[in-house]
Chain A
Amino acid sequence: MKNLFLILRKLRLLWVFLLFHGISLVFIVRQFRYHQTVFFESTASITRAWWTRTKEVEHFLFLSTENALLHRELVRLRMQVMQQELQGERLCWTSDTALKVPYSWLSARLIQLTLNQSQNRFTLNRGSKQGLRPDMGVIGPAGVVGVVTQVSPNLATGLTLMNEGQGLLLSVRLKSSGELGNLVWDGKSACCARIEGLATHVKVKPGDTVETSGLSSIFPRGIPVGFILKPRSEQDVESGYASLRFATRFSALDLVMVLDYTYQAEQDTLENPLMP
C-alpha cells in the first residue's frame, strides 16, 4: 500500500495533466455538435463491446450452475417418463434412435434394497418374462445403480455399486481428462467410494464428474457414476486413489432403468468364439 502511494505520488504530474486535459476534452465535446456525436457514438460502441464481453464471461462462469440445473431437470424428466411408463404398465424396451446408442432400456421399480451390508443388493419388479437377463446394467435418474445378477420369471436381483470385494468391478473414467480407473467401495459409507488405478500424474478437482468408461458392454460410455469428493492427498497419489461421492442417492432410490446392449450376443460370440 505504501509503495502504491509512492508510485501515485511519483506520477502526480501525470495525474495533473490528465485532469486538466480531461477537463479540456469535456469543454471541446460540449462546444461542438460534431464532437458530441462522435464522442457518444464511440462511448456507446465501447460500452456495447464491454457489455457483450462481460456477458460472455458471466455466461461462461455460470455454466456450471446452468449445468447443474439442466442435470436436475433431466433427472426430473427421466423420473416423469419412468413414472408414466410404470403407471401405464408399458412393458416394452425403448431404444434411443436420436443418439444412435446401441442400448435399449426398460423402466423398473425397486422392490427391495439393502444399504448396510458389505454386499448390497436390490430386487426389481421385472424378470425374464420382460426380457431381463443377468449382466444387464441398471441406472437411476442420476446415474449408475448396479448390475442385474439373477433373474426369475417376474423378478430380478442384482448388486449395487456399494459392494465390497470383487462382486462388481466397474470401469470408470474422469470426464475432464478421460483417465481410466476402477470403482471400488470400501464399505465405510453409503455415499462414497474411490477410484483405483489412477496414474500418479492425474490431477482431480472436487466436483469433477466420474462416468462409465464404456469399456464393457454393460453400460454405455458417459453415464454418471459420481463426483470427485476432494483433491488427492499424497498417499492417494501414491496408491492411485481418488475419493468420489456417488451420483445416485441409494437411500432415496425408487425407479430405475435396465439397460440392454443390442449387440451383446454378437459381441460375446466374437470375443469368445469357443463358448456355446
Chain B
Amino acid sequence: MIALLNYLGRGFLFLLLEWLVISRLEPGPGWAPVLYPMFFFAFPVQFSASARIVFGFTFGLILDLGLGTGGLHAAATTAMAFVQPFVLRYFLSVDERENNLKPGPKSLGWLRYLWMAFWLLLVHQFFYHFYSLFSLGAPGMLLLRWLGNTCMSLALIALVQGLFYKKKN
C-alpha cells in the first residue's frame, strides 16, 4: 500500500514537472522532449503487464487533459507500456527478472539503462509524432521529429538520472 502511494506520489510529481516545466520548453516547432517515461522505466519487472497499460493510459490521459493534446500522450504511453515487458525480457537476465529488479542506472548500469530507455522512447515518440502529424505524406518530417525527439528525451532523462545518481552516491 505504501509502495503504491509512493508510486502515485512520484507519478503526481512527474505530472507537475511535465505540465509546469517540460511542456514549456519549446526548442522549436515539432520539438517536444518528454521526461515522464522515466517514471514508467522504474516500475518493478514483475509489475503486471495489463496494469502497466492501464496505468500508462491513465497517466497519459491526465497529461493530455492538462496540456490539451487530446489523447496523444495516452496513445504513446499505452504503446510504450505494451512493449515494455518484451523489452525488459530482452535486456534483463532470468535472475534479474526473478529478483523483481527495478530498472535504473544503478541496477542495470548506465549503458544498459540508456539502451533500454532508448528503445522504449523510440516506441513512445513514434506513436506520439505519428498521431500528431496523422499523415503519411511527410515521412521525412516524421522521421526527423521521431528520432530527434527520442534523442532529446533520452538526453533529458540521462541528465535527470545523473543528478539523482550523484545525490544518492
Binds A, one of B31-39, B67-75, B89-97: B67-75
Q: Mark A1-32, 1 if CB is under 8 A from B, else 0.
A: 00000000000111011001101111111111
Are B75 and A16 touching (Cβ within 8 A)? no
Partner of B57, one of A12, A24, A38: A24
Instruction: With A12-B50, A13-B50, A35-B134 as known contacts, state yes or no: A24 contacts B74, CB within 8 Å.
Output: yes
Measured CA separation A30–B72 after assembly (Å): 12
Instruction: With A12-B50, A16-B53 as known contacts, state yes or no: A23 contacts B82, CB within 8 Å.
Output: no
Of residues 79 through 105 on chain A, the ones whose CB sits less than 8 Å from some CB of chain B are none
Are B131 and A25 touching (Cβ within 8 A)? yes
Cβ-based interface call for A34 (8 A): yes
Q: Which residue of A lies closest to B81 (CB)?
A: A17
Are B82 and A13 touching (Cβ within 8 A)? yes
Instruction: With A25-B71, A27-B70, A31-B70 as known contacts, state yes or no: A38 contacts B78, CB within 8 Å.
Output: no
Are B54 and A27 touching (Cβ within 8 A)? no
A235 CB → nearest B CB, Å: 62
> Which residues does chain B contribute within 8 Å of A17, judged by CB atoms?
53, 78-79, 81-82
Q: Count of A residues near B, CB < 8 Å? A: 21
Measured CA separation A14–B78 after assembly (Å): 11
Of residues 47 through 93 on chain B, the ones whose CB sits less than 8 Å from some CB of chain A are 49-50, 53-54, 56-57, 60-61, 64, 68-72, 74-75, 78-79, 81-82, 85
Q: Count of B residues near A, CB < 8 Å? A: 24
Measured CA separation A26–B79 after assembly (Å): 15
> Which residues does chain B contribute within 8 Å of A35, judged by CB atoms?
70, 131, 134
Are B53 and A31 touching (Cβ within 8 A)? no
- Classify the secondary structure of A's interface with B: helix
Cβ-based interface call for B135 (8 A): yes
> Which residues does chain A contribute within 8 Å of B131, judged by CB atoms?
25, 28, 35
Are B135 and A16 touching (Cβ within 8 A)? no
Partner of A21, one of B54, B68, B69, B79: B79
Q: Which residue of A lies closest to B72 (CB)?
A: A28
Instruction: With A12-B50, A17-B82, A27-B64 as known contacts, state yes or no: A38 contacts B71, CB within 8 Å.
Output: no
Q: Mark A47-67, 1 if CB is under 8 A from B, else 0.
A: 000000000000000000000
B78 CB → nearest A CB, Å: 5
B23 CB → nearest A CB, Å: 16
> Which residues does chain A contribute within 8 Å of B135, judged by CB atoms?
38
Measured CA separation A35–B50 after assembly (Å): 28
Measured CA separation A17–B50 after assembly (Å): 8
Instruction: With A13-B49, A13-B53, A38-B134 as known contacts, state yes or no: A20 contacts B74, CB within 8 Å.
Output: yes
Instruction: With A13-B50, A16-B53, A17-B82 as known contacts, state yes or no: A34 contacts B69, CB within 8 Å.
Output: no
Q: List 8 A-B contacts (CB under 8 A).
A: A16-B50, A20-B57, A20-B74, A21-B75, A24-B61, A35-B131, A38-B135, A39-B134
Known: A27-B71, A31-B69, A31-B70. 20 other contacts (CB 8 A): A13-B82, A16-B53, A17-B78, A17-B81, A20-B53, A20-B56, A24-B72, A24-B78, A25-B75, A25-B131, A27-B74, A28-B70, A28-B71, A28-B72, A28-B131, A28-B134, A29-B70, A31-B71, A35-B134, A38-B134
